[in-house]
Amino acid sequence: MTADAAFWNDLADEYAAKPVELPEAFERKIALTRGRLSPGDVVLDIGCGTGSLALRLAPSAAHVHGLDLSSEMIRIARTKTTAQGADNLTFHVGPFDDTIPFEPESMDALCAYSLLHLVADPPAALARIYSLLKPGGVFVSSTVCLGESWVPMAPLMWLLRSLGKAPLVKSLSKQTLVHEMANAGFVDIQQPDVGAKSRTAFVIATKPR
């Protein structure tokens, strides 16, 4: 088990019990995401956590897959799925790397809420996301961009991580994030205003047909 997997496993129950921050913004994100889905779509939610987003997207798609590094997060997600009687969700435990159990161009849509700032190599993650999408597929992400803060956050996050108090966190800016999406091949990159915090980038992009 990696240090980050252990970190999120230890946090899982507390994370599941915590209310959604800025619920109105979260609802707008979900509405915009569902608006880009069709009933026959297969969707992948990477960094799915306890499955809250996947469960909300399930009525708008044929099947939703959730992937998360934390086995405890996935345990909670599966419990919630059973309790709600949803039958078109499948949750997987594992990192978002070359071992993922999905074929290239197998997804109609892919979501990454609160994920891209937590991966060691965001450009590589974006390239993998691009490869998983079918031509014309949609990518929806919500990313904390610590590079937007006037206080240098990288040293603080390094210290917290060294003490086991934080996972790996990249200090991205919105401009860098959008630039890296374009470099990965995405087009029609949009940043709709959902009322999120100023350093959160909510982005919708498309893989060309």
User: CA angle 27-199-95, nearest 5°?
Assistant: 75
pTM over 0.75: yes
pLDDT value, residue 166: 63
Return mean pLDDT, the chain.
Answer: 91
Asked whether residue 151 carries a pLDDT value surpassing 60, the answer given is no
Percent of the chain predicted with pLDDT > 90: 75
pLDDT digits (tens, 9 = 90+) for 154-192: 665 556 556 666 667 788 899 999 999 999 999 999 999
Domains identified in the chain and CATH numbers: 3-206 (3.40.50.150)
The predicted structure's pLDDT at residue 43: 98
Residue 9 has pLDDT above 90, yes or no: yes
- Quick one: pLDDT at residue 21? 86
**DSSP reduced 3-state for 68:** strand
Q: What is the pLDDT of residue 93?
A: 96
